[in-house]
Amino acid sequence: MNDHTLIGRELDAAVARALGCNVEASRHGESYVCGCPQNADNEYPHGFFVDGIDTCELAHYSTDFDAAWRAVEASGLLAPDTQNSLHGHVDGWAVTKDVTDYEDYYASACHETLAVAPTMPLAVCYALLKFLEKKS
Ligand SMILES: [Zn+2]
């Protein structure tokens, strides 16, 4: 799903699902938890870190810089072979793909925009959904 109308915890859940998380509603249904098995360090792979301690509460990918960066690393969004890059933009942050055709440099577009958003975590979340949707 690539829907810029997703916000907050719904967006966090969509990102986690795109990363392969078995997202579950929390016990009282007011939030989401990572339903994946804990890793060798007893951490939930898509969990939320509070003071360095991992909880099963779903990571806040769309608002937490560290969580967004973990999602970047887990997805390969900015891996060199993708030609994707994250950079500042007049409207905040952008993730773009270099699509320059060096055979026909002047005729081609140079960049395809994956996402533009006011904050880095938001730009990463929207770009990641688009990126993983294309790969699948
Ligand atoms: Zn998970």
> Which domains, from first to last, does the chain contain?
8-135 (3.30.2120.10)
Q: Is the pLDDT of residue 4 over 80?
A: no
For ligand 1, the distance from its centroid to the CA atom of residue 13, given in whole angstroms, is 10
- In the block, tokens 């949707």 appear at 133
Using left for φ > 0, alpha for ψ between -120 and 50, and beta otherwise, residue 39 falls in beta
Q: Near ion ligand 1, which residues have CB within 5 Å?
A: 21, 34, 36, 46
Collapsing DSSP states into helix, strand and coil, what is residue 71?
helix
Q: Is the pLDDT of residue 131 over 50?
A: yes
For ligand 1, the distance from its centroid to the CA atom of residue 11, given in whole angstroms, is 14
Res 1: pLDDT:
42
For ligand 1, the distance from its centroid to the CA atom of residue 31, given in whole angstroms, is 14
For ligand 1, the distance from its centroid to the CA atom of residue 45, given in whole angstroms, is 5
Give the tens place of pLDDT for each residue, 65-121.
999 999 999 999 999 999 999 999 999 999 999 988 778 767 667 889 999 999 999
Give the tens place of pLDDT for each residue, 16-41.
999 999 999 988 877 899 999 998 88
* pLDDT-derived band at 2, boundaries 50, 70, 90: very low
Evaluate if pTM is beyond 0.85.
Answer: yes
For ligand 1, the distance from its centroid to the CA atom of residue 96, given in whole angstroms, is 27
Q: How many residues does this entry show for the chain?
A: 136
